[in-house]
Amino acid sequence: MKRKTTILLTILAFFAVSLQAQVIFDPATYPVDSLPDGMEIVNIDGTKYLKATLNGWNSSVKIYDVIIAPGHTRMRTEVKLDVGVGGFTIDQVNTFLKLTSPGWNELIANGQGSSSEFHNRTIDGLSGGDTIDVFQFAGQETQSWGAVVGDTLYVGKVVAENPVALLDPLLVVQDSLPAGWSIVTIDDEAYFQVLLNGWNSSFEFYKSIDSTMVPENVKAFKTMAKYAVGTSGFELGVINTFIKFSDPSWTEVVAIGAASSTEFKKYNKAITPGSTLGVFQVAGQETQSWSAVVGDTLWVGALVAEKADSIKISSEGDATTIETNGGTLQLTATLYPMDLAVPSVTWMSSDNAIATVDEAGMVTAVANGDVTISASAEDGSGKKDEFMITLSNQMVMIESIAVSGAGDATTIETAGGTLQMAAAVLPEGADETMIEWSVSPEGVATIDAAGLLTAVANGVVTVTATATDGSGITGTADITVSSQNVGIETMNSEKLNLYPNPVKAMLYVENAGSVQSMDIVSLSGKVVMSISNISEKMAIDVSKLGCGVYFIRAFQAGEVETYKLVK
């Protein structure tokens, strides 16, 4: 009987601690007489802090057997470091924090960069039932990783947090609740039971159990609530359950208003990470004049982070392949449970050179191969799913074109001279390697489909090779053209006589007996007409040519003479 009584008392003692705020160390209440030498409690802007002159690894305070409540896996505090005679700059010193159980057994420890401004520090790894016996701290220099002596560390209240619980009735002391509030147990779960009093049903929990900072990986919260109509005078169907979090200054952080239920029902809402929560307000809001009722009862459970349990990717038509060039496949990511407040995901391709995926889950083929598409939940849960797709029949597109002249020549220095241009296409395995040639500016040179560049006038011309595979890839080279004689005024007019010029339909040519062939070329360098059947006197029908300036190139005795023609 004595053994059973001892066990019972131990269990009761444990839960008595669990029902309190999980304060590990509070400078405002810590017995000053128990502080080691070199430490004191100071007041900074109305908040109490431990001020400790660091003494290597020997700086610590005794914790009086705090037992960590279930689910409270994170330690949080506020610290800053002032450099003193330690001999290191603040950038060379990490602030080191550690909690140990009796016997100096390490529970959690962490060293992070220091700051001369107060900032929050969190360490994960606590477990429910851990007994905290010592809180150790140090300034650890990052050269030989020793602990400094002579710098000053300020430490605020140290608390244990449940990373997923924003407010849990299990950890609230009944005496800290306002009038009309109580804590009850239903089916082994703790709930706030609130006799509603209009908009005045609020719990300023920051005054008794400290404020709560929404963790960076929490994007939504949820709770279970049910409603019982009392003396308000309204039927359940016209009353919304209203739930609201504000910061300690009563600035709204998030609010929910949704239909009430006599059975426990989930209420959830997106919340901003990093927000500070200090006030919890509830109400029954009737939907006629939108006022808050008096006399009904609301039960609200723990308000915890809402995160996905799992995620599943599916495809349109259950397809796992893309077999058309540049084809697409729509993927859909379903998060479970399906009523999450933040159901969005981030899509990613394992290899964008094989396939890309947009923010809506549309996969676009790029090359042949296998690719894994992943969808990651954006609610901080870390849940992720992957989907493999096999791609075939994809065209290998041109990625680059290098343009050069024969023999790496970059000039044409003879009248009417030519230069064979070449285009080197990469990758070597490109499916379509055809290119189109063009030149600019107009009137300096012409180029044919085979890349033969022919001088027309003095100047610098840019030769461009454009891929025809739809990739839009181009390559260019600049060629300098000199020693050209352009215009009929500089030609030997005794050899060819062109009239009328300007011309409308028929162009007459005389003195052409020694000419082997003639080309009519546009200003863009394109050959628009070739004449090979030459006679001493001849007529050329140019009626189908558009109005503009052209050049006639006359090939004779291995030379080329150029004439200007206006239509």
d(CA 300, CA 195) in angstroms, rounded, equals: 12
CATH code linked to domain 488-566: 2.60.40.3080
Residue-level pLDDT at 485: 64
Q: Which residue ranges make up each domain of the chain?
A: 21-161, 165-305, 311-391, 400-481, 488-566
pLDDT, tens digit, 9 for 90 and up, residues 525-562: 788 999 999 998 999 999 999 988 888 988 887 788 88
Residue 408, phi then psi, degrees to nearest 5: 65, 25
**DSSP codes of every residue in 319-375:** --EE-STT-EEEEEEEEESTT-S---EEEEES-TTTEEE-TT-EEEE-SSEEEEEEE
CB 277 within 8 A of CB 212: yes
Cβ-defined contacts of 344-353 (< 8 Å, 24+): 344/377, 344/378, 344/379, 345/311, 345/375, 345/376, 345/377, 345/378, 346/375, 346/376, 346/378, 347/373, 347/374, 347/375, 348/373, 348/374, 348/375, 348/376, 349/373, 350/374
Six-digit token string for 225: 């609530």
Residue-level pLDDT at 398: 93
Nearest by Cα to 96 from 58, 147, 130: 147
Low-confidence ranges of the chain (pLDDT < 50): 1-21, 487-493
d(CA 530, CA 540) in angstroms, rounded, equals: 11
Pick the CATH number of 400-481 from 3.40.640.10, 1.10.3720.10, 2.60.40.1080, 2.40.30.110: 2.60.40.1080
Assigned CATH class of 311-391:
mainly beta
Assigned CATH class of 21-161:
mainly beta
Q: For residue 532, give Cα distances in angstroms to 126, 496, 515, 538.
A: 94, 16, 9, 12
- 158-161 and 23-25 strand pairing: antiparallel
Beta bridge partners of 321: 390
Residue-level pLDDT at 156: 96
Letter for the amino acid at 32? V
d(CA 526, CA 453) in angstroms, rounded, equals: 11
The pTM of the full predicted model, rounded to 2 decimals, is: 0.57
- 93-101 and 165-167 strand pairing: unpaired
User: How are the residues of the chain apportioned to helix, strand and coil, as percentages rounded to the nearest 5?
Assistant: 10, 50, 40
pLDDT, tens digit, 9 for 90 and up, residues 140-181: 999 999 999 999 999 999 998 877 889 989 878 888 999 999
165-305, what's its fold? Jelly Rolls (2.60.120)
Judge if 21-161 and 488-566 fold alike in CATH terms.
no
Exposed / middle / buried, residue 407 (Cβ in 10 Å: 0-12, 13-18, 19+) = exposed
The residue to which tokens 């200007």 are assigned:
564
d(CA 268, CA 147) in angstroms, rounded, equals: 46
Six-digit token string for 115: 């700051």
